[in-house]
A and B are shown apart, each in its own frame.
Chain A
Amino acid sequence: MKTKILLTFIVVLLFWRFPAASQEWLVPGNQLNVENPLPYNLENVQKGKDLYQQNCKSCHGDPGKNNHLPLAPPPPDIVSEQMQANTDGGLFYKITSGRGGMPQFETTISEDDRWRIINFIRNYNADYEQLLIDAPPVNAKLLASVNEADKKVEVLAEYEDKAGNFLQLENTPVFISAKKAFGNQLLGQALTDENGRAVYSIPETLIGDEQGLVSIVVTLGENYLAEQVVLEKAKVGKIKDVPKLIRKEVLWSTNENVQLWLLLSYIGAAGAAWIAIGYVVFQLIKIKKSGKE
């Protein structure tokens, strides 16, 4: 948490130092007042949210959390004044064409979907009715263990109610990932039952380390404040296949792996030549000796 604050602080500082970096992004006049053809309703906002999570979140961050990427110019938070001051047409133009660090989405997101994203953005506008209410995150606890024999992950999820008591978290997805070299690979999710328990079957295809050991990571959705659980390595994956790359007798490797035919040819040819040279030198010695007779 501390680090995050520190990071945000650094990021904020960075942007203060370069206010000039965010130049005005002008929208052509005829685009400015294009109206959103899609109705502003829960369905569209919900779809817009999904699209946002997929395509925009990596740079713009979570709404209202100011956790966007530290780029110059900074990608604004969608709740911010800067974002909401845009007209619908303006937003549509910017999403469609992109600029600098902002990609174009003309070819990757359909027109309707782009309007849906705008609907989602408007969900955070004071002038609009907030259709999609993000409940304030709830404190939660996760406990998990892995069953090596059945290759299952068992999870118990609890949340904290207003009185401060921990109760079973029902019917909520928990996310199961596997720890890889540089990050956690999402394997899938499991729903908790009425007792707050969930069981996840680990797929057969999961690859572990050389002993088949995998470290499983369990997390809750974004509406819960819970520390992720990193389970100790368990033998639930396939044994990692480590094919040998450097074989005997490859031309590109060291002398230890040199091809036998090559080595023999080299030594044979060079050796024969130098033996012959040695023989000639020996003749010279003989010439010298014969001179003394």
Chain B
Amino acid sequence: MNTIKSPEESRKILNTICSDLTRSITRKDELTRFWFFILIMFAGVGLWGWIIQIDKGLGVTGMRDYVSWGMYIANFVFFVAVSLIGFLISSALHLLKISWSKPISRVAEQIAIAAVALAGIIIVMDMGRPDRFLNVFLHGRFASPIIWDVTVVTTYLTISVLLFYIPLIPDLALLRDRMEGKIPNWKLQLYKILSLGWKGNQKQYKLVYHAMRVLMILIIPVGLSIHTVTSWLFAATLRAGWDTTIMGPYFVAGAFVAGAAAVVIVMYVYRLRYGLKNYFEDLHFDYMGKLLVFVSLVYLYFNINEFLVPGYKMKTAEGIHLSNLFTGTYASMFWLVQVAGLILPILLMLVRYFRKPLPLTIISVFVLISSWFKRYLIVIPTLEHPFLPVQNVPDYFKHYSPTSIEVMITLFSFFAALLIISVLSKFFPVISIWEYAEEKGVDKKYFSEQPKK
């Protein structure tokens, strides 16, 4: 923490921080409108796809009786994976008293909320009878991993929203006090309601710190569960390629890779778009790069375990599955994912140059795309090779390829997730103003002062 500043200096710093970090809220230009237009349009097209799917049945997808889980489930696993970063950055690093990650935690929470919300929506879109969704609560079986998953996804979503909201309260009060005239009145009213009559007294800060601490501890088991339970959806079956005990930690490690890459990308976009060069500094990218290398190495270690051990033995069903991945139909996708999404990024990011903002962001894009395809490779090839031969069915039952409806709905999920992130960034500062200012040596008492007009 910087040394305590004089009142004059403090007010000046606070004003600068405020105007920088509210730029995302006040700015209105063509590009913003266009961006939202694109997002809403594509999300709408995807929803239309879902309506077609409800009307005609899940047969409009490429899934059939053997490959009965397809791109939706892969996409679901992907979003669950991405959401896990919220837990790592805003909780684990905080509790370890690592201070560089503070400005990033709100970005991580935005991503976590968007991803976990979409994960929940996608799973409904994958259902044959979404109209019977309530059966899950009416007739839920405690022994089913799906019930565990539903429980843990809703819990994680709630905690993520709270963990996003609670540190936001003092900021909301700041916005309420300072933004009059700069933003429409209804938005001001919204801040007023959401700031819960924040006065900034000692007691309130104490309550905020306390609540945050409870949440940060709570999110650790819940965060680990969400991805472990998701991995059990696969590991609880007898299928070759899924029937492994490593699934839980393997998924968690992979989730950190995907999530860290997503955070880097969003950080870079904010830095560029909202002129936050001094906030998302090169230093942050450097640290994020190091973090990404670290989690990638852990993930690589699990990958070696996951493929080398069964590959060494080549049991009948496992053998068919693995040769399909290594040299068969999915070989090109598999090796691309492993090389471009894991091995090359690790090697590159070990070099300082590639941890600079732009190179790191480009690497992260590759990592993120690869981790989507990685989920695809986890879900589909296993189902294409059941224990008994696939016979007496049309040829298109034997190999899965996604249809345009599936692509539409998957695109919907991407755009809807981006929409949630964009809306959050349009409503709330992307970095916690009060925490950041405090870090810069501004005392809390200045936060509740009305700026002179």
Selected interface stretch from B141-149, B274-282, B311-319: B141-149
- Sorted nearest first, the 4 A-B pairs with minimum C-beta distance are A291-B197, A283-B211, A288-B196, A290-B203
Cα separation A110 to B95 with both chains bound (whole Å): 83
Q: Which of B166, B221, B222 contacts A284 (CB 8 A)?
A: B166
Q: What are 17 A-B pairs at a CB distance below 8 A?
A: A255-B141, A258-B141, A273-B159, A273-B218, A276-B218, A277-B155, A280-B166, A280-B214, A283-B207, A283-B211, A284-B211, A287-B196, A287-B204, A288-B196, A291-B197, A291-B199, A293-B201
User: Is B210 engaged at the interface, CB distance under 8 Å to the other chain?
Assistant: yes
Cα separation A266 to B148 with both chains bound (whole Å): 8
Cα separation A230 to B169 with both chains bound (whole Å): 86
Contact with A along B151-176 (1 / 0, CB 8 A): 10001001100100010010000000
Are the C-beta atoms of A287 and B208 separated by less than 8 Å?
yes
User: Is A286 engaged at the interface, CB distance under 8 Å to the other chain?
Assistant: yes
Are the C-beta atoms of B207 and A290 separated by less than 8 Å?
yes
User: Is B215 engaged at the interface, CB distance under 8 Å to the other chain?
Assistant: yes
Are the C-beta atoms of B196 and A291 separated by less than 8 Å?
yes
Cα separation A256 to B196 with both chains bound (whole Å): 45
Q: Kindly list chain A residues whose C-beta atoms are within 8 Å of the C-beta of B143.
A: 251-252, 255, 258-259, 262
**Which residue of chain A lies nearest to B210 when distances are taken between CB atoms in the complex?**
A283
Binding site for B on A (CB under 8 A): 251-252, 254-255, 258-259, 262-263, 266, 269-270, 273-274, 276-277, 279-281, 283-284, 286-288, 290-293
Q: Kindly list chain A residues whose C-beta atoms are within 8 Å of the C-beta of B221.
A: 269, 273
* Interface Cβ pair total, 8 Å cutoff: 73
User: Is B198 engaged at the interface, CB distance under 8 Å to the other chain?
Assistant: yes
Known: A255-B142, A286-B207. A277 touches B162 (CB 8 A): yes
Q: Kindly list chain B residues whose C-beta atoms are within 8 Å of the C-beta of A277.
A: 155, 158-159, 162, 218
Cα separation A139 to B51 with both chains bound (whole Å): 73
Q: Kindly list chain A residues whose C-beta atoms are within 8 Å of the C-beta of B222.
A: 273
Cα separation A262 to B203 with both chains bound (whole Å): 41
Binding site for A on B (CB under 8 A): 141-143, 148, 151, 155, 158-159, 162, 166, 169, 196-199, 201, 203-204, 207-208, 210-211, 214-215, 218, 221-222, 225
Are the C-beta atoms of A254 and B141 separated by less than 8 Å?
yes
Q: Which of A252, A258, A274, A281 contacts B142 (CB 8 A)?
A: A258
Q: Which of A262, A274, A292 contacts B155 (CB 8 A)?
A: A274
Known: A273-B218, A290-B207. A284 touches B158 (CB 8 A): no
Are the C-beta atoms of A287 and B142 separated by less than 8 Å?
no
Cα separation A266 to B149 with both chains bound (whole Å): 11
Question: What distance in Å separates the Cβ of A223 from its nearest Cβ neighbour in chain B?
Answer: 47
Q: Kindly list chain B residues whose C-beta atoms are within 8 Å of the C-beta of A270.
A: 151, 155
Cα separation A32 to B189 with both chains bound (whole Å): 103
What 4 additional pairs, Cβ within 8 angstroms, besides A270-B151, A281-B162, A290-B199?
A258-B143, A280-B214, A280-B215, A287-B211
Are the C-beta atoms of B142 and A266 separated by less than 8 Å?
yes
Question: What distance in Å separates the Cβ of B157 from its nearest Cβ neighbour in chain A?
Answer: 11
Cα separation A120 to B335 with both chains bound (whole Å): 70
Question: What distance in Å separates the Cβ of B159 from its nearest Cβ neighbour in chain A?
Answer: 7
Question: What distance in Å separates the Cβ of A176 from its nearest Cβ neighbour in chain B?
Answer: 43
Cα separation A97 to B132 with both chains bound (whole Å): 56
Question: What distance in Å separates the Cβ of A98 from its nearest Cβ neighbour in chain B?
Answer: 24
**Which residue of chain A lies nearest to B148 when distances are taken between CB atoms in the complex?**
A266
**Which residue of chain B lies nearest to A259 when distances are taken between CB atoms in the complex?**
B143
Cα separation A258 to B144 with both chains bound (whole Å): 10
Q: Kindly list chain A residues whose C-beta atoms are within 8 Å of the C-beta of B148.
A: 266
**Which residue of chain A lies nearest to B155 when distances are taken between CB atoms in the complex?**
A273
Cα separation A277 to B157 with both chains bound (whole Å): 11
Known: A258-B143, A262-B143, A292-B197. A287 touches B210 (CB 8 A): no
Known: A262-B142, A266-B148, A273-B222. A279 touches B214 (CB 8 A): yes
Cα separation A286 to B225 with both chains bound (whole Å): 30
Cα separation A279 to B212 with both chains bound (whole Å): 11
Known: A263-B142, A286-B207. A280 touches B162 (CB 8 A): yes
Q: Kindly list chain A residues whose C-beta atoms are within 8 Å of the C-beta of B196.
A: 284, 287-288, 291
Q: Which of A252, A255, A273, A287 contacts B207 (CB 8 A)?
A: A287
**Which residue of chain A lies nearest to B218 when distances are taken between CB atoms in the complex?**
A276
Cα separation A154 to B173 with both chains bound (whole Å): 100
Cα separation A133 to B352 with both chains bound (whole Å): 104
Q: Kindly list chain B residues whose C-beta atoms are within 8 Å of the C-beta of A284.
A: 166, 196, 211
Q: Kindly list chain B residues whose C-beta atoms are within 8 Å of the C-beta of A269.
A: 221, 225
Cα separation A274 to B155 with both chains bound (whole Å): 7
Question: What distance in Å separates the Cβ of A288 from its nearest Cβ neighbour in chain B?
Answer: 4
Cα separation A9 to B300 with both chains bound (whole Å): 74
The listed residue with most A CB atoms (<10 A of its CB), out of B204, B208, B210, is B204
Q: Which of A255, A258, A281, A288 contacts B197 (CB 8 A)?
A: A288
Cα separation A52 to B208 with both chains bound (whole Å): 92
Q: Kindly list chain A residues whose C-beta atoms are within 8 Å of the C-beta of B207.
A: 283, 286-287, 290
Q: Kindly list chain B residues whose C-beta atoms are within 8 Å of the C-beta of A293.
A: 199, 201, 203
The listed residue with most B CB atoms (<10 A of its CB), out of A252, A259, A273, A288, is A273
Question: What distance in Å separates the Cβ of A275 from its nearest Cβ neighbour in chain B?
Answer: 10
Are the C-beta atoms of B142 and A276 separated by less than 8 Å?
no
Q: Kindly list chain B residues whose C-beta atoms are within 8 Å of the C-beta of A279.
A: 214
**Which residue of chain B lies nearest to A288 when distances are taken between CB atoms in the complex?**
B196
Q: Kindly list chain B residues whose C-beta atoms are within 8 Å of the C-beta of A291.
A: 196-199, 201, 204
Q: Kindly list chain B residues whose C-beta atoms are within 8 Å of the C-beta of A274.
A: 155
Question: What distance in Å separates the Cβ of B252 from its nearest Cβ neighbour in chain A?
Answer: 17
Cα separation A293 to B199 with both chains bound (whole Å): 9
Cα separation A259 to B143 with both chains bound (whole Å): 8
Cα separation A255 to B143 with both chains bound (whole Å): 8
Question: What distance in Å separates the Cβ of A102 from its nearest Cβ neighbour in chain B?
Answer: 24
**Which residue of chain A lies nearest to B195 when distances are taken between CB atoms in the complex?**
A291
Cα separation A262 to B147 with both chains bound (whole Å): 12
Cα separation A255 to B208 with both chains bound (whole Å): 40
